[in-house]
């Protein structure tokens, strides 16, 4: 029996955001990729998921993400986890993207 792991579901198609990106860039990428969340990464470490609804509420869309993001929602799955765990997280949190990390919280995809 072949067990599918989360690392096998990794897609390099989903862009990542960085603290020096703007809310406007985040919204543009979310629109372009048809996602309501995008992962934010700093120095290859997963910071959290930025939600489209939160950014839409900002007064200044050109504000840097590092200035506006308080405590981000941080759903993620370890790269060695079974893909059923990923499906459960997608369902439970209504995710459009699920970051895959290693044990050191390094962003894998």
Looking at domain 6-10+22-101, which CATH architecture does it have? Answer: Roll (3.10)
Residue 68's pLDDT is what?
A: 73
Residue 92's pLDDT is what?
A: 95
Give the 3-state DSSP-derived string for the chain, with helices as H, strands as E and coil as C: CCCCEHHHHCCCCCCCECCCCEHHHHHHHHHHHCCCEEEEEECCEEEEEEEHHHHHCCCCCCCEHHHHCCCCECCCEECCCEHHHHHHHHHHHCCCCCCEECCCCEECC
Residue 80's pLDDT is what?
A: 87
Residue 10's pLDDT is what?
A: 57
Predicted model pTM: 0.83
pLDDT per residue as tens digits for the range 35-72: 999 999 999 999 999 999 989 988 999 999 998 767 78
Residue 82's pLDDT is what?
A: 86
Mean pLDDT to the nearest integer, 74-93? 90
Mean pLDDT score of the chain: 88
Domain limits, the chain: 6-10+22-101
Q: 45, 28, 49, 48: which is closest to 37 by C-alpha?
A: 49
């Amino acid at each position: 029996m072949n067990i599918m792991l989360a690392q096998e579901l990794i897609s390099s198609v989903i862009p990542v955001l960085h603290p020096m990106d703007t809310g406007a860039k985040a919204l543009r990428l979310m629109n372009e990729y048809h996602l309501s969340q995008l992962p934010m990464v700093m120095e290859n470490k997963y910071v959290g998921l930025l939600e489209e609804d939160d950014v839409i509420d900002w007064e200044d869309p050109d504000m840097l993400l590092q200035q506006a993001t308080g405590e981000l929602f941080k759903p993620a799955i370890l790269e060695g986890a079974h893909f059923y765990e990923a499906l459960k997280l997608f369902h439970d949190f209504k995710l459009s993207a699920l970051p895959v990390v290693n044990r050191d919280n390094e962003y894998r995809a």
